[in-house]
Structure 1
Amino acid sequence: MKKEQKLILIFSIISTLAGCGFFPLAPTPPAEPPIGKNNSRIDLPDVQLISELPQFTKELNEIQIADSFNSVDPSWVIGALIEKNTGNVYPLDNFLKAGAKPKITPLSEIVFKNLIENSATAKANWLDFTKASVNSNTKAEVTVAKISNVSINSNNIDKAVIISHFKDIPKSERDKYGVIIGYSDFVLSATYFRNSGAEAIASGFGAKIEGNWYSKSENSSLQHRIIAVWSPLPYVIDAIQSPAKKDLTDSTSEAIKDGKIEIQEIQEINYIPSEF
């Protein structure tokens, strides 16, 4: 077939196909990964849950008070007597001078913020308020903020009252007791995250945990926790008889470091609303 005849034949075929409304389609490009369910373009790493919680008592003479202090002013603990062997605190036996003004140092310090293992709530009684909300499908993000430190000077202790209270107790027996000379105030809160499943759209505030998307659900109420600072009774009696005014928290800490005071560590103290 001559070259001219081949061109006429090709042109004729194209014209015929055009008349039929048929054109070959371009190859279909691969589909983009879907956005939303099974979104393969979002590859978020799993959030690591924390199982070990921080220890807030850093010094031997710091102790947690077993009370949430949600409805009670924690300042009642300043100057209160504690019995070291039992861990009991007796607020009615208080040696703070009337009208004394403890030094309050406001703070804004986040000391802990993490999603925690549910099992961690059983390890710390200060997380009791989260136990009713966490379960196999709900995780808690716990935030602990230190909001203030409170301390007193030696001249804030009523010397006449404390000496009168212990005048009949031998000095060898006085070492069984201590006096609360300050505290740190902590505020705890928990944000709850609920399991939306592996098919959930990763939008809004949440976290990927063990392959599932957990969406923020609700906040708990705030809780207070008080870490009290105490000093042995014999040291307090000696300090208040000195003419020099001392910050009892600082001076007690220095005496411990210098080996002048031996501290029997107390894990927790309990509020006892009765006379000693």
Structure 2
Amino acid sequence: MSNYQAYKVMRIIESERLSEKVKKIVLEGNLGSSPGQYAMIWVPKVGEIPISIAREPEGETWILVAKVGKVSSAIHSLKVGEELWVRGPYGRGFSLRNGNCCLIGGGYGISPLISLSERLRERGNAKIRFYAGFKRKEEVLLEDLLSSISDELIITTEDGSHGLKGRVVELVDFDWPEAIYSAGPEAMLVEVVREALRRGIYAEVSMERLIRCSIGICGSCSLDPLGLLVCKDGPVFDARTLSVSEDFGRYWRGFDGRKLHIGGESVGMLLR
């Protein structure tokens, strides 16, 4: 049975440039998502892309849009009062665990971790340490918000222009958490998963892939050899599942279905 959802026309009520590349878009209305889920955003006559849902305060849906292609560029050009066509939410989100929870975000990959941190905080059973990594000070996003929804916020920049200097994964204290959640560039996620598996820490990460249908029909987001589909079995996967994936950290599928090499060894190979 298909879980395709009709489009919902949602009006833009706020548009804020957070950095040279990223805008915060606030849409009027709610989708009823769980932390880690995404929506398909359609710009008529341009195209459709999946975007993580950052948060859903009452009557609002927040998304962070990085300007990387024609659809995201079109979204950046829209003004307050204009509309987007939205369907969703889709996918499997994060599970909610107790104890010391470490959230690790890279760049605009912090987006799905925002609602997760809010939900963990609401439950009151977790201590949240949020690591947010960026290349430089000018790319730091939503620092005040992140500080307000976590017990401890650690900002890192690769050039040392704000917060701690270095790559965010290198600065994480992996001896502290009982659970790890991460989202961002896949090379970073591979490092997070590897460290979590080596230490026996439960971890979940949110992956990006080419998502076209969002309902598991087209296969453009499949992960070998398990046949998992990022659009409906993910985008959030636990570390042990990804440790047996040949594609995680290594391959994407293009529009023609062929694999495109994106990196080095699989997590399973790195653990040998």
Point out which structure has higher relative CO (alpha carbons under 8 A, 6+ apart). Answer: 1
TM superposition score normalised by structure 1: 0.20
Larger CA Rg, structure 1 vs 2 = 1
TM superposition score normalised by structure 2: 0.20
